Structures are given as structure tokens and as C-alpha cells.
Structure 1
Amino acid sequence: MATFLLHDKIIPHSSMEAESMSWRQKTAIGVSACALLAGGLLATAAPASAVGGCASGYLCVYDRINFGGEKIVSASTNACFDLFEFEFGSVNSYVNNLPVNAYLWEFDTGTGWSKVRTLVAGGFSSSIPANTAWSVCMGNAQP
């Protein structure tokens, strides 16, 4: 048995004859609803995970602009990694598909660790200014 959505209620096909609207009105409403649904599906933007080839639920940092060069991927939401462990230059582009911010940290022998950039949760940049970051930390983690 087919069902139709009409005026926010489900009406079984067998009771359609009892409705006061004509067959043409019902068909027009159905076609309009389908057109709206199809238009909405076609107009949907690509998810952020498509940017830079970084999957949903991950932070991806790249040592070149435009998501190029070497890439480090992390799914952690409360940990740090040292860029030099990966023979990685500096972070020049990123995609943060994590639910938390990530931070670039640098070390100065006089002042210690300091945050030099925030990689916003759900954000990305194809080109960030040159930096001297040593570590990347996600969430509340600190080096």
C-alpha cells in the first residue's frame, strides 16, 4: 500500500478518495514536493571533509600551501604531536574536522611554550602565515 504526505499527515492510499482536493491538485502538490526535495539535494554543498582530502573526524596538517606536501593526520581530541618527529617543516595549510580546536605551539628558551595559532574546529586554511611551531595540540592538551 502506497502512502502520500499531505498537509503534514500520512494518508493511506485507500483513503485518498475521501479527501476533498481534486486529483490534479494532489498531483501538483506531490510534484512540487518532489521538486523541492530534489532541488535541496542538488544544492547541498560538499562536506568540509572533502577539503584537502581530510576525512571527517580528523585533523590534517600540511607542510605546503593548498593542502600539499607532507601530511600529518590525527584523530585525537586531547593529545599533542611534535612536528620534528615526522621530519615535517612548518604547518602551511590545514583542515580541522575535529570537534575541538587544535593549536600550534612554539618553544622559546626564555619564555617556554606559547600558542602561536589556533586551528579552529570545523575550519580550514589553504595558506597560513609562516610559523615556527614545534608541536600541534588538540583540545586542552599542552606540550
Structure 2
Amino acid sequence: MKKQLLFIVLYISVGIGTIYAQAGPEKQIRRILKEQTAAWNRGDIDAFMQGYWNNDSLLFVGKNGPTYGFTNTLNNYKKNYPNKDYMGLLNFTLLEVKPLSKQLWMVLGKWELTRNAGNVSGHYTLLFKKINSIWVIIMDHSS
């Protein structure tokens, strides 16, 4: 009986610990996405990009295929969204935020731009990785 009770207490403790351990990364990831939305809606692509891994291995996959590297991704954003009319107002709807491992999280969501140049929307999958104690997007597949 004592062994069963000890097992139950340990099982519950591990489960609660896992929930709290996940709450930190999820909260940080949600904050990053909120900051990105605010930056986009101010028309500040450079600040929007702060959520991405500033590395040549960053992968962005869009309608034109894969783009590698932070600088190439930034340049594509600036080319495709040259002014506030094209940028419009961004809204993210998070469909799923879940851990894949201790250092890797996936976000599935919907993006919408309300803009003078015509509204557009699509879906995205992001992979966040904790690098040097900071969560960053290492892969973005948006369509």
C-alpha cells in the first residue's frame, strides 16, 4: 500500500512538473508572437524579424519555395511588403502550440492580413528552438 501511494504521489508530481515546465516555454513563445504582431502592425519589419533565428540556417518556406538565411528572409519580407498598405494589419490565430522536445516547440496557426492592397490569409507552421537561452523561430512554413 505504501509503495502504491508513493508511486501515485510521484506520478502526480512528475505530471504537474511537466505542465509547469511547459508553461514557461509556451508563455515565452506566445509573447514572441504577440511582439511580432505588434511590430508588423507598426510597419516595423526589422522588429518583426527579431523573433527569428539570426542565422544562415534559418529556413522559411513560402509559395515560392524555400529561402535560407535570416538576411534573405528579411530581404524577401521587405520586397514583398514595401509599405504599410501592403503590410496592413496582421492577426495570428494560434491553433496549436506544443512541445516536440525540451528544446523544440511547434506552433500551428492561421495568419490574416487586413490591408488596402487586398486582404490575404493562410496557415503557418513554426518551429521554435531554444538557442543560448532564447526561443527563436528556426523554421517557418507559411502558405
TM-score range, shorter chain: 0.3 to 0.5
Q: Give the TM-score, by structure 1 length.
A: 0.33
Q: Give the TM-score, by structure 2 length.
A: 0.33
Q: Which has the larger radius of gyration?
A: 1
